Amino acid sequence: MKTDNKLIGAGLLTAIAASLCCITPVLALIAGTSGLASTFSWLEPFRSYFLGLTILLLGFAWYQKLIPKKQIDCNCETEEKSKFIQSKKFLGIVTAFAIVMLAIPYYAHIFYPKTEKHVIVIDKSNVKTVQFSISGMTCASCEEHVNHEVNKLLGIIKSTASYENGNVIVEFDNSKTNIAEIEKTINGIGYSVTEMEDN
C-alpha cells in the first residue's frame, strides 16, 4: 500500500513539474505579479521526460490497483477497510488532476482576456513594426502573456508573439510609445529581449 501511495505522489509531482513552465504565466497573471512569468522556463527542455514519467508512474499505480490480489487460504479475518488515499477513487482524482495539469499548454489562452484595441493613428508615418527576439518563452501560455502585457502599452496596434520562433512582432504608433518602452515591458515580465529588428 505504501508503494501505491509513493507512485501516486511521484506521479502527481512529475505532472506538476511538467506543467510549471506553462502554468506560471497564468498564475502570474491571476496574482498580478507579471515578473514571475518565466521563473520555471528552465524546466521546458525536461517537459517530455516529466510527461513520460507521469504516465509511467500513474499507469503502474493503476496496474497495481487493478490486478487481482492473491487470496491467502486461512480462516483469519483479512477484511480491512482501505483508506480513501489508497482507493481507486483517489487514484482517479489524482489521474484527472494530472491530465488537467499536463494539458495546460492547450487551454492556457482562456485565462487571458481578449482586448479589442482601437488605436487611432493620426500620421501613418508614425507606424513602426519591430521584431523582438525573446528568450524564455516555452509554450502558448508564454505567448499569451507577452501579448497581454505588450498590449497594455499606449499606442500598440498589434502584438504577435511566437514561442516556436522565439519572437514577438509589434506594430505600434511611435508617437505614443517607443522600442525602449516595449523592450522594458517584455524584460519586466521575466523574459529577455536578445535582439531587435526594425522592419
Asked if the model's pLDDT at residue 131 lies above 60, the reply is yes
Which residue range is the domain that position 170 belongs to?
112-198
For residue 183, give the CATH number of its domain: 3.30.70.100
CB atoms < 10 A from the CB of 65, how many? Answer: 16
Asked if the model's pLDDT at residue 161 lies above 80, the reply is yes
Distance CA 75, CA 107 (A): 54
Q: Domain boundary at 88, 109, 130, which?
A: 109
Q: Domain boundary at 80, 109, 138, which?
A: 109
Q: Are 136 and 193 within one domain?
A: yes
Mean pLDDT of the chain: 80
Q: Are 121 and 100 within one domain?
A: no
pTM of the model: 0.64
Q: So what's the pLDDT on residue 58?
A: 86
Distance CA 44, CA 140 (A): 12
In the chain, how many domains are there?
Answer: 2
Q: So what's the pLDDT on residue 128?
A: 93
Distance CA 185, CA 181 (A): 6
Q: Are 82 and 140 within one domain?
A: no
C-alpha cell at 114: 481578449
